[in-house]
Amino acid sequence: MIQTNTKTFYTLLFLASLVFAPTAAQAQVADSDSIDAIDEVVVVGYGTQKKSNVTGAISQVKSKDLQDLPLTRVEQALQGRTSGVQILQNSGQPGSSSVVRIRGTASINGSNPLYVVDGVVITGGIDYLNPNDIETIEVLKDAASAAIFGARGANGVIIVTTKSGKKGAMKVNVSMYRGTQNPWKTLPVLNATEYATLQNEMAAAAGQAPKFADPRSLGQGTDWQSKVFNPSAPMSNLEINLSGSTDKIQYYASVSKYDQEGIVAAGKSNYNRLTARLNTTIQATNKLKIGWNAAYTNVQSMSVAENTEFGSPLGRALNIDPLTPLYETNPMLLSQNPYSIAGALRKNLMRDAGGIYGISSVVTSEIVNPVAALMTENNTGWSDKIVNNTYAEYEILKGLKFKSSIGTDLAFYGGYGFRPSYYLNATNFLDTNLVYQNFNRALTWIWDNSISYSTKIKKHNIDIVAGHSAQETTGTFIGGSKRDVPSQNPDDATINYARNTNSRDVYGGKWERYAIESYFSRVNYNFNGKYLLTAILRADASSRFGSNYRWGYFPSISGGWNMHEESFWKSNKYIQTLKLKSGWGMSGNDAAGSLEYAATISGGRSYTFGSGEILTNGTSPTQVANPDLHWETVTQSNFGFESRIFKNINVGIDIYQKNTTGMMSRPVLPDYIGNDAPTSNVGTMVNKGIDIEANYSKVLKNGLAINVGGNISFVNNEVTLIGNKTGFLSGAKWGPQSLEISRISEGQAIGHFYGYKTDGIFQTLDEVNNYKSADGKVIQKDAVAGDLKFVDVNNDGVIDEKDRTVIGNPTPTFVYGLNISLKFKGFDLLIFGQGIEGNDIYNATRRYDLPNANMNAAAIDRWTGAGSTNQYPRLTLQDNNNNFARSSDFYVEDGSFFRIKNFQIGYRIPDKILKKLNIAGMRIYYSGSNLLTFTKYSGFDPEIGNGYGIDRGIYPQARMNSLGLSLNF
């Protein structure tokens, strides 16, 4: 790592470029117009580069690949389309974001890539971006490319360029689609008869009397999933854009309206977005170009709890018993507890036109009637975001340009909600209603100034850019709540409605500033398009770094060799082009929080004095200071080649190794020290992998155009050093008992599942008694036939915490994508699939701590006697062996899947028909999403981006069918 305390190092770079000048002085001037104009161009950050000259690992997705796909977010546009990028949608909730990992997870802290849209680093949400406004997306995967973004490039960089007007007359495009969404899978759970039968069996096994006299009389019971899912949920998109160019002005203007309702919880889960954009470029003089890209986005959305064991609509639907009716109509029951007290109905029972919602008499805690609970949830989020980029570029001399650009990202966002007073069960009730609201404003501005020079001296092609960048983020927030407003209607309830100030609560403040200052430079050199060289140096100072390490330096160098340009290369029918490339570089991750390096005094260490239960504020230092805190460094080497073979096949393969050092963590100190350790740069991590992309493209003589593309990415992640004595960090916890189910451990991939290994089921008591340690002790004394056999990992003759070990891994071995596109005459067909392989999912959807909670129908095949099964243990109310209460591989399943993400058939109406209508082009199409999913996973959906592969009741992806129309004028 290069660290100096001054800017001297940077100054050296400028001196170096001065030295470079006289060397080149002997060269002769060459005609710079000979650059191949039709060669593809790649955006590389602070400039562009010809694709054939790129030496880093950069993938590109173009607008034509995305045309008419029902995408809501930019991440979806990348999903499965490029190698080295793993994208999983967090869930199927409308508007849900995705987990994006470029070449593996590079840090235990933040591992999200940096988004740069038209030169503006987007610090807030990226969902403001309308995917149809995107011209290209570049993914900078290796450090040789990402070093230009320095201290924030470690997780890779996603550069988005929005559309601009093309030369020629104005074009108008109108496109729209409408579709319906449905859940693609419901889970088999026990019906009322099965439930009662198994409950009786559980009671009997514990020596208790059966609870249900005649299970068969109970029939099917309530199908809760059908009450919670919202079939045929609509979605629609309408979009109009105008683009074109006059002599001096290029323009692109668009508006879009997107509305989606969720497939869960009708009316409580939806996403509505309005976007407007104007991109203009003005050639003010021969030398001066002025540009302005402005986007406004409004989002209104509602969401319900998901992927939590503490009460989400789907989690409740799976766990509540099938005996409880949706509505309780039996007057006898309604006159009793819990519906009535002392003969009078409770006043806060949930009810609507259908009657009074049923309350379970057997399942408790958060597992309440899911439909009744939805009535109490009214959470609306909104945002207004304006992202603007204004720039001027002046050509001082031919090839020598100065560019100044100011970008702003201004976001207003907030939420409001209302909880009516309710009674759902004995532990879930609210006596007085609650209304709440919050309002936030965030502003990021970024000012870049750069000089670039592009020239060709004989066969030497040189592109140089150097510049300075400053960025600042500030924000303010305010919010409040009020109890006991005189309305139970979410639409009426506001904080002010109450006209009194009792229990009115307010909070507010401003963020601590976040500022970054940077210098950057890059030299691209190539000799006759044959020998390629790129060198980058970036210096970053971040307000998040400790005072001892304010400046960080991030160099990279990479080279390439276009072998097919050599004179010795003989034209052959096998290999048309071949480029070898190799690079090395450093980039950083400034994942620290504000003032995390300092010891600050925090309040809230209060105590209660006096008889009125009044809190008196106390303060104490939150941590020890660490002025040495600095960025995490990712050092990455990349080797690869790109080739065109058999004329129609493009192949690219990259092999890389990413070493993360200085990974931030809080070392665990002994508690007797009495205060927390500061965040320190103590950990290391390694990601190694191979990215492969291939594409076949051909137009047959009969006019059939075939395009088949695929990519596959292997990555191996290993945490090599945690930096505390125990060698691990506790990971995810589950349930009220905070069961530890995952860990980050040295020598393992990040976030591996953690618990007991099982070795089948004891079929007989003899097997229990014969399961002995080396010294003859019976290992599971408390077990009986039908219980899980746990592996005594440490061979000490007992099963205890020390036997817990790695029981699964949420990190896939590889991820892949497949894209098939066919065009024939006016018809077109598109199939796009994506998959991940080799990952595990921890299925934590059942509340085992509530023995009366309903179960997956897999329980029907439980152990019932010797030889019945070796998979599912016996059921009992007295689980002395902790068959279910232990985290074990019983809960771990294969999470691999392959999914047909999109399937599209379109037809382009012949021009001769359209001509009469004054229409330039018209396409109608059918589009289907998530039509097929191949997986062994038994839960709702194997695509679980959020939560490290732990399924606590995921909101599944919708299967969507839609019809669309696209018109050009």
Report d(CA 338, CA 80) in Å as an integer.
Answer: 51
Smallest gap, in angstroms, from Cβ of residue 38 to another protein?
Answer: 24
Long-range contacts: 251-256, Cβ < 8 Å, 24+?
251/164, 251/165, 251/278, 251/279, 251/280, 251/281, 252/133, 252/162, 252/163, 252/164, 252/165, 252/277, 252/278, 252/279, 252/280, 253/277, 253/278, 253/279, 254/130, 254/132, 254/133, 254/163, 256/130, 256/132
Quote the least distance from Cβ 235 to another protein, whole Å: 33
Establish if 513 lies at the interface with another protein (CB under 8 A).
yes
Antiparallel, parallel or unpaired: β 728-730 and 649-665: unpaired
**Does 355 participate in binding another protein (rule CB under 8 A)?**
no
The residue from 140, 143, 424, 541 that contacts another protein (CB under 8 A) is 541
Task: Please tell me whether residue 501 binds another protein under the rule CB under 8 A.
Answer: no
Residue 848 beta carbon to another protein: minimum distance, rounded to whole angstroms: 8
For 778, phi and psi rounded to 5 degrees? -70, 125
Question: Site residues for another protein, window 701-740 (CB under 8 A)?
Answer: 724-726, 736-738
Residues 6 or more apart whose CB falls under 8 angstroms from that of 8 comprise: none
Phi, psi of 767 (to 5 degrees): -65, -35
Sign, Cα dihedral of 791, 792, 797, 801:
negative
Q: Rule CB under 8 A: is residue 616 a binding residue for another protein? A: yes
Stretch that binds another protein, among 300-308, 451-459, 828-836, 896-904 (CB under 8 A): 451-459
Q: Which of residues 877-916 bind another protein (CB under 8 A)?
A: 879-880, 882, 885
How does DSSP classify residue 283? E
Q: Closest approach of Cβ 23 to another protein, in Å?
A: 9
Residue 402 CB, nearest approach to another protein (Å): 6
**Range 380-419, binding another protein (CB under 8 A):** 396-400, 402
CB nearer another protein, residue 169 or residue 673:
673
- Least distance between another protein and beta carbon 713 (Å): 37
- Of 613, 776, 912, 916, the one binding another protein by CB under 8 A: 613
Contact letters for another protein, residues 618-637 (x by CB under 8 A): xxxx--xx------------
Q: Is residue 464 a contact point for another protein (CB under 8 A)?
A: yes
Which of the residues 827 through 886 are near another protein (CB under 8 A)?
849-851, 879-880, 882, 885
Q: Which one of residues 81, 101, 456, 862 is an interface residue with another protein (CB under 8 A)? A: 456
Residue 801 lies near another protein (rule: CB under 8 A): yes
871-91-694 Cα angle (round to 5): 90
Q: Which of residues 81-120 bind another protein (CB under 8 A)?
A: none
Interaction between residue 965 and another protein (CB under 8 A): no
Output 114 or 523, the one with its CB closest to another protein.
523
Query: Using the rule CB under 8 A, is 542 a contact of another protein?
Result: yes
Q: How far is the CB of 367 from another protein (least distance, A)?
A: 12
The single residue among 335, 602, 795, 871 that binds another protein, judged by CB under 8 A, is: 602
Q: Does 192 bind another protein (CB under 8 A)?
A: no
Count residues near another protein (CB under 8 A): 110
Q: In sequence order, which ranges of 505-584 are alpha helices (DSSP H)?
A: none
8 A C-beta contact, residue 811 and residue 753? no
Q: How far is residue 580's CA from residue 594's CA, in Å, rounded to a whole number?
A: 43
Neighbours of 697 (CB within 10 A): 14
Buried-exposed string 809-839: b where 16+ CB fall within 10 A, e elsewhere: bbbbebbbbbbbbebeeeebebbbbbbbbeb
Residue number with CB closer to another protein (217 or 500): 500
Q: Which is closer to another protein, CB of 205 or CB of 451?
A: 451
Between 800 and 911, CB nearer to another protein: 800
* Position among 503, 528, 548, 773 found at the interface with another protein (CB under 8 A): 503
Q: What's the CA gap between 822 and 814, in Å, rounded?
A: 27
For the bound state, the minimum distance from the C-beta of residue 888 to another protein, rounded and expressed in Å, comes to 13
Is 497 an interacting residue with respect to another protein (CB under 8 A)?
no
Q: Virtual CA dihedral for 597, 600, 604, 608, nearest 10 degrees?
A: 140
- Indicate the helix (H) or strand (E) that contains 463: strand 460-483
Residue 13 or 830 having the CB closest to another protein: 13
- Return the number of the residue (84 or 150) whose C-beta is nearest another protein: 150
The Cα 939–Cα 950 span in angstroms is: 11
Which of residues 810 and 953 has its CB atom nearest to another protein in the complex? 953
SS3 (DSSP) at 582 = strand
In angstroms, the Cα distances linking 630 to 143, 677, 850 are 18, 16, 46
By three-state DSSP, how is residue 727 classified?
Answer: coil
Shortest approach of another protein to residue 543 CB, angstroms?
5
Contact status, residue 121 vs residue 151, Cβ threshold 8 Å: no
Q: Dig out the tokens for 34 from the structure.
A: 């000979």
Residue 431 as a binder of another protein (CB under 8 A): the answer is yes
Position among 800, 827, 911, 913 found at the interface with another protein (CB under 8 A): 800
d(CA 890, CA 899): 26
Choice from 177, 357, 436, 519 touching another protein (CB under 8 A): 519
Query: Which CB atom, from 213 or from 614, has the smaller least distance to another protein?
Result: 614
Compute the distance between CA of residue 409 and CA of residue 387 in angstroms, rounded to an integer: 4
**Which of residues 477 and 561 has its CB atom nearest to another protein in the complex?**
477
- Cα dihedral 789→795→797→801 (10° resolution): -70
Q: How far is the CB of 142 from another protein (least distance, A)?
A: 26
Q: Work out which of 1, 14, 41, 459 binds another protein, going by CB under 8 A.
A: 14
Residue 572, interface with another protein (CB under 8 A)? no
Quote the least distance from Cβ 397 to another protein, whole Å. Answer: 6
* Of residues 624 and 822, the one with the C-beta less far from another protein: 624
Q: How many other C-beta atoms are found inside a 10 Å radius of the C-beta of residue 582?
A: 18
Determine, following the binding rule CB under 8 A, whether residue 447 of this chain makes contact with another protein.
yes
User: Under the criterion CB under 8 A, does residue 782 sit at the interface with another protein?
Assistant: no
Q: What are 157's two structure tokens?
A: 């960089």
* Cβ–Cβ under 8 Å, residues 666 and 611: no
Strands 752-755 and 134-140: unpaired
Nearer of residues 201 and 879 to another protein, judged by Cβ: 879
Give pairs for 791-799: CB < 8 Å, separation 24+.
791/756, 791/757, 791/758, 791/759, 793/757, 797/772, 797/773, 799/756
CA–CA distance, 160 with 256 (Å, rounded to integer): 18
**Contact criterion met (CB below 8 Å) for 854 and 363:** yes
Specify the amino acid at residue 840. Answer: D
Tell me if 25 contacts another protein by CB under 8 A.
yes
CB of 779 to another protein, least distance (A): 16
Per CB under 8 A, the segment of 86-94, 291-299, 385-393, 664-672 that binds another protein is: 664-672
Cβ of residue 851: shortest distance to another protein, in angstroms? 7
Exactly one of 67, 182, 186, 364 binds another protein (CB under 8 A); that residue is 364
Residue selected from 37, 342, 353, 700 as contacting another protein according to rule CB under 8 A: 342
Residues near 766 by beta carbon (within 8 Å), at least 6 away in sequence: none
* 294's tokens: 């402005």
